[in-house]
Amino acid sequence: MIFETHAHYDDERFDEDRDTLLEELLAGNICNIINVGAALKGVADSIALAEKYEKIYAAAGVHPSEIAELDEEKFQWLKEQAKHEKVVAIGEIGLDYYWDKEPEIKQNQREWFARQMELARELHLPVIIHSRDAAEDTMKVMKEVCAQEIPGVVHCYSYSPEMAKEFIKMGYYIGVGGVVTFKNAKKLKETVEQIPLEKILLETDAPYMAPEPHRGKRNESSYLSFVAAQIAALKGITVEEVERVTEENARRLFGIK
């Protein structure tokens, strides 16, 4: 069975067939799904999905590109949502300097990232970190908030193998998805080769990041079998072992039996 640790089934690209697809996935080889909120509406929608499906859990957080919608009142609302019994993580939170390059916006991102890390500490929840073009500052904020005391995953990992080892030293897992199947994904393939399987989580980021041979199309959790196969090939082990160990990893991190 495959534990899907990061998907966005609340996305409008699933409006047409959401329930049919989820029922199909959960009746197949997907044992659990964490639906990750990226904005306030996404948090509410993720919790609604988790309430509807026993095997779906929610993560509550505001993505760095969505922080403009946050203020003290909304942050309080987020905190209340995060106390829901099916919320298993704060996420996705972090830094994304790919689109936002203005110093003031970057500073804002760092502040809300730190605040949401502190929220995770307060509620004893792990974090799901999104970090793009911001490796150094991500590490800096994590050190400032003593992130080694807060368990979590660096999702859709895109930095060097060396950096991955730094995150692992802080106790973090590395989220691996469709990108690992791309021909030009040299860095991620090296990372997977060099880090222990016990630190890898499987994730789609659906509807984004579909693996080969579905690259460019709408992603879904069943495609994780291509990701698992690629990891197995890189590590010279069986697909079953990849699925089993990454499932155990997810259960350990998110506290799901």
Site residues, Ni ion (CB under 5 A): 205
CB of 133 to Ni ion, least distance (A): 16
Residue closer to Ni ion, measured from CB, 75 or 208:
208
φ and ψ of 11, to 5 deg: -60, 145
C-beta of 63 vs 189, nearer to Ni ion = 63
**Residue 245 CA: distances (Å) to CA of 1, 154, 249:** 10, 18, 6
Nearest distance, CB of residue 97 and Ni ion, angstroms: 16
CB of 109 to Ni ion, least distance (A): 16
Cβ-based nearer residue to Ni ion, 13 or 244: 13
- Residue 214 to residue 216: CA distance in whole angstroms: 6
**Which tokens belong to 15?**
């409006």
Residue type, 149: E
**Cβ proximity to Ni ion, 59 vs 82, nearer residue:** 59
Q: Show Cβ contacts of residue 233 under 8 Å, excluding neighbours closer than 6 positions.
A: none
Residue type at 13 in one-letter notation: R
Query: 57 vs 2, 35, 105, 179, CA distance in Å?
Result: 15, 6, 31, 24
Closest distance to Ni ion from the beta carbon of 48 (Å): 18
**Alpha-carbon gap, residue 77 to 85, rounded angstroms:** 15
Strand order of the sheet with strand 127-132?
2-7, 30-36, 56-59, 87-96, 127-132, 152-155, 173-176, 200-202
Nearer to Ni ion, 165 or 215 (CB): 215
Task: Using the structure block, give the residue that is written with the tokens 């209340």.
Answer: 80
Nearer to Ni ion, 64 or 151 (CB): 64
Closest distance between Ni ion and the C-beta of residue 38, in Å? 6
Name the closest residue to Ni ion (Cβ). Answer: 205
CA-nearest of 55, 47, 35, 30 to 85 is: 47
- How near is the Cβ of 6 to Ni ion at its closest, in Å? 6
The nearer residue to Ni ion, 153 or 228, going by C-beta atoms, is 153
**Cβ of residue 8: shortest distance to Ni ion, in angstroms?**
6
The DSSP annotation for 38-68 comes to: -SHHHHHHHHHHHHH-TTEEEE----GGGGG
Q: What residue type is 116 in one-letter code? A: Q
